[in-house]
Amino acid sequence: MTANEGGRPCRDDTAAGLAAVEARLDAMDDRLEEGFASIEKLIAAKLDPVVQAATEQRQIVADHERRLTVLDTAMDKEVAPAIREVWATKKVVGALEQHAKRCDERSHTSSSRWWGVAQGIIIAIAGVIIGWLGSLIWAGLGR
């Protein structure tokens, strides 16, 4: 008897083969799902630190943005006017230095003049004293 003549054993073999294939496919599906679950866990474990670091970086950048805004505001309100004041003050200081230099030169010249007058007076007084002493000595010798 051939496989087509009885009809029944061939169908049973086919059904059994098909059931075995389906069982194998189900087992492969289960293994794939387990593999994907373990890969998902592994990826989540690897990505969690990256996500946390990215969150921290966002917070740091937001904090830096806030600080830069504060610095920019301070720069506009306080630093720029202070810089203008520094330049104006430098001009005033330069003028005062020039004035002080002229005053020093004048006082030096004036001091030199007064010293010259003082020397003349001292020499005159010394001459009078020496003359007086000389006249006393001369008078004493002539006696």
In tens, the pLDDT along 106-133 reads 776 666 777 888 888 999 999 899 888 8
Domain boundaries, the chain: 8-109
Contact 3, 10 (CB under 8 A): yes
In whole angstroms, what is the distance from residue 7 CA to residue 94 CA? 120
Q: What is the DSSP letter of 103?
A: H
Report the Cα 98 to chain-centroid distance in Å: 37
Q: For residue range 41-89, what is the model confidence (pLDDT) as tens digits?
A: 888 888 899 889 999 999 999 999 999 888 888 778 887 788 888 888 8
127 sits in which H/E element: helix 80-141
